[in-house]
Structure 1
């Protein structure tokens, strides 16, 4: 391995669309309209979708959850509320402690993240996990 480069894994737009479709199907099956955001490893949005009936403000939290999960390479929701509040203020809402964000990894390598919002934290995670399963990402 060279010290001058590293190998990376990237989520394709086809993978993002397949993950989105699986998330939409799961949200429909549990009857919870959701906002879903999938980002690349740097936190840039690949796809962002608001289902009919999903809460408007959840568009922002879904994006923050995805960016946070990509940034920390870990599920969201484990920060203390105080730290999460401070991080949210410092990042102008770009980071959140709310549950519902999962990293997307293939063979342990970070490829991006998904953030889901508008349900309970567990419902958000359930929808996100369905997306990871369909694209063959590592389970979280």
Structure 2
């Protein structure tokens, strides 16, 4: 087990994630909300475009939280919560709700989770793409 410290996600990192996700969404003509959480699941940064549907703020935050807690993009978890899936009861088992819709992506450094970004407002595939674009820009 490694005891080497991993640099935490900073506000500068969060601002870069938001800028890159926003740029990708604007290029696609999609109004979105973007949430960045730190490794503890605490809000580091948030932005909602003026035209984004109001619920996108909540969905972006839940997507980020889900990706962080399971250390997996939410796009990879959609099938796991379907009837018969290994996480079928997980969406309702916890006090803080998870959201198994594409658009949440963990942020890792040296293979370890340091936070997550969540996007809401586009289609699930669009939101996932915007989040991946943001995380890749941070690398």
Does the alignment pair 1:23 with 2:21? Answer: yes
Bigger drift between 78-87 and 68-77 goes to 78-87
Unaligned 5+ runs, structure 2? none
Report the Cα distance in structure 2 between the residues aligned to 1:106 and 1:69, rounded to whole angstroms. Answer: 15
Q: 2:71 aligns to what?
A: 73
Q: 1:106 aligns to what?
A: 109
**How far 1:6 sits from its partner (Å)?**
6.2
Unaligned 5+ runs, structure 1? none
- Structure 1 120/93 Cα, relative in aligned 2: closer, same or farther at 3 Å? farther
What is the Cα-based RMSD across aligned positions, in Å? Answer: 2.0
Report the Cα distance in structure 2 between the residues aligned to 1:117 and 1:12, rounded to whole angstroms. Answer: 22
> What SS is found at the alignment partner of 1:47?
strand
Bigger drift between 59-68 and 76-85 goes to 76-85
Normalised by the length of structure 1, the TM-score is: 0.85
Q: 2:31 aligns to what?
A: 33
How many residues are aligned here?
134
